[in-house]
Amino acid sequence: MKLWAGRFRKELDSTTNDFNSSISFDCRMAGEDIAGSIAHAAMLAAQGIISAEDGLAIRDGLAGILSDLNDGTLEIDMGAEDIHTFIEAELTARIGDAGKRLHTGRSRNDQVALDIRLYLKNAAAGLRERLCGLVDVLCDTAEEYADTVMPGYTHLQRAQPITFGHHVMAYCEMLLRDIGRLDDAVKRMDLSPLGSGALASTTYPLDRLAVAQSLGMAGVTANSLDGVSDRDFCVELAAALSLVMVHLSRFSEEIILWCSWEFRFVELDDAFSTGSSIMPQKKNPDIAELVRGKSGRVFGDLMTLLTVMKGLPLAYNKDMQEDKEAVFDAVDTVSMCLTAFTPMIATMRVNADNMRKAAAGGFINATDAADYLVGKGLPFRDAYKAVGELVARCIEGGKTLETLSLADYREVCGAFDDDVYDAISLDRCVAMRKVSGGPALVCGQVARVKQLIG
Alpha-carbon span 181 to 200, nearest angstrom: 32
Say if residues 40 and 30 touch (Cβ distance below 8 Å): no
* 22: annotated active-site residue: no
CA 141, 142, 145, 148 dihedral sign is: positive
**Residue among 275, 279, 259, 277 at smallest CA distance from 267:** 259
Q: How many CA atoms lie within 13 A of 299 on its CB side?
A: 11
Which among 14, 155, 277, 436 is annotated as catalytic?
Answer: 155
CA dist 216 and 325 (Å) reads: 25
On the CB side of 126, CA atoms within 13 Å amount to 14
Catalytic residue among 51, 67, 276, 405: 276
Beta bridge partners of 219: 191
Closest to 123 measured CA to CA, from 273, 274, 334, 270 = 334
Tell me if residue 24 is catalytic.
no
Angstrom distance (rounded) from CA 405 to CA 301: 59
Concatenate the DSSP letters of all residues of 291-354 into one string.
HHHHHHHHHHHHHHHHHHHTTPPSS--GGGGHHHHHHHHHHHHHHHHHHHHHHHHHTPEE-HHH
Distance from C-alpha of 419 to C-alpha of 402, rounded to nearest angstrom: 12
C-alpha span between 105 and 46 (Å, rounded): 14
Question: What whole-number distance in Å separates Cα of residue 385 and Cα of residue 366?
Answer: 11
Query: Length of the chain, please?
Result: 454
Say which residues have a Cβ less than 8 Å from residue 347's Cβ, sequence separation at least 6: 268, 269, 271, 272
Residue 220, φ and ψ in degrees, nearest 5: -125, 155
Q: Say if residues 288 and 258 touch (Cβ distance below 8 Å).
A: no
Question: Are the C-beta atoms of 235 and 302 separated by less than 8 Å?
Answer: yes
Distance of CA 355 to the CA centre of its chain: 30
Instruction: Report helix, strand or coil for 413.
Output: coil
List the catalytic residues: 155, 276
